[in-house]
Amino acid sequence: MLGFYSRKLTILLILAGYFFLAFNIAVEKWLLEKYSLYEINFITAASFMIITAIQEFFTNGSLKNIRPFSWKILILISLFTLGAWHFFLTALKGLSVFEFGSMSLLSPVITSVLATFFLRERPSFYVLPAIILGIFGGYLMMDGEWNGFSSAQYHLFMIFALLFSSLRWIVVKHIGDKIPTSALIFWEPSLVLISMAIIVDLGGLWDKITLILFASGGLLFISRQLLVRSYQNRTTTATSISSLIYTKLLWTLLFGYWFWNNIPKPIELIGVLLIIFSSMLVIIPSLKFSKSI
């Protein structure tokens, strides 16, 4: 019974993590109208690390859990994060929030392939149908705002971003709980902070900085806390977690409506229903399995 509630809580953490991640995408799209992607990444990385340090200090009374336990692993994760953040924002400059969310549908496919190769995972029977349904649902939703391939380079940037992001999560899943979550989260954007500090005009950024610029870092911090803990949970697989990314597409559709007044068409709503059903294919069998244990 305890395992059942543990698995149920983990799924809720994953779903909440993707909600805050989608919210972060919408905020960053808005920020790109006022700031460069380098400035956004610099502030996001800085606020991300500061919030992590503060949270760790008030939770445990010290910062010992965020010391670099393994430089090789932490630098590798930070390098993948640098690639993912850069290409994600580069892609977001040329894609709508909805297109961005639709392209994210490729993440479970990429993660599943990488997990099979690096982690020796064997996707269950329910995961592959979930991926197929999610992709088809995303295709129906793309019908409403798809702008063709006039901005094909941004779609390519998105592919690179998803590859770097999937590699980062594969490493997190591989090391499990060998490195404290706080250390992983704190050092993850370190290379982003260093490289962006070299590129950004810090004086010019200081003159136009606003509090809303820190919102992206806060939202990303919450999302990362939830998702990293889910990936470190040994009762989950990287493939099943990434399959729930389809719920993020639903949130990007809703945020597109709230912030940019994009009204979904009936065919897009059908796509949403397929995406929800695809996620349930992953959730329900997992809960039944845990309850039987």
DSSP one-letter code for 104: T
Q: Where would I find the H helices in the chain?
A: 2-31, 37-60, 71-94, 97-103, 106-114, 127-142, 152-175, 181-187, 190-199, 202-208, 215-232, 238-243, 246-260, 266-292
Q: Which of 70-84, 138-152, 265-279 has the highest mean pLDDT?
A: 70-84
Backbone angles phi, psi at 68, to 5 degrees: -70, 100
pLDDT at 196 over 80: yes
Longest CA pairwise span in the chain (Å):
60
* Side-chain half-sphere exposure of 210, counting CA atoms within 13 A: 6
Q: Which of 21-25, 40-44, 63-67, 247-251 has the lowest mean pLDDT?
A: 247-251
Residue 186 has pLDDT above 80, yes or no: yes
Nearest to 160 by CA among 226, 250, 254, 85: 85
Mean of the per-residue pLDDT values for the chain? Answer: 79
Q: Tell me the C-alpha distance between 111 and 105, whole Å.
A: 11
How distant is the alpha carbon of residue 142 from its chain centre?
Answer: 20
Can you give the pLDDT at residue 217? 83
Per-residue pLDDT tens digits for 29-68: 999 988 999 999 999 999 989 988 998 899 888 888 888 8
Per the CB < 8 A criterion, the answer to whether 217 and 43 are in contact is yes
Q: What is the band of 287 on the pLDDT scale with cuts at 50, 70, 90? A: very low
Q: Mean pLDDT across the stretch 157-171? A: 91
Task: Check whether 289 has a pLDDT greater than 60.
Answer: no
- Residue 34's CB: how many other CB atoms inside 10 A? 12
Tokens linked to 33: 């109208």
Average pLDDT over residues 217-222: 84
Asked if the model's pLDDT at residue 169 lies above 70, the reply is yes
Q: Lowest-confidence range among 17-26, 85-94, 247-256, 275-284?
A: 275-284
Which has more confidence, 78 or 128? 78
CA dihedral 156, 126, 290, 251 (to 10 degrees): 40
d(CA 132, CA 127): 9
pLDDT of residue 188: 92
- Band (293; pLDDT cuts 50, 70, 90): very low
- Report the C-alpha gap between 44 and 192 in whole angstroms: 9
pLDDT value for 94? 81
Query: Tokens at residue 188, please?
Result: 């993850």
Q: Which of 3-12, 48-57, 110-119 has the highest mean pLDDT?
A: 48-57
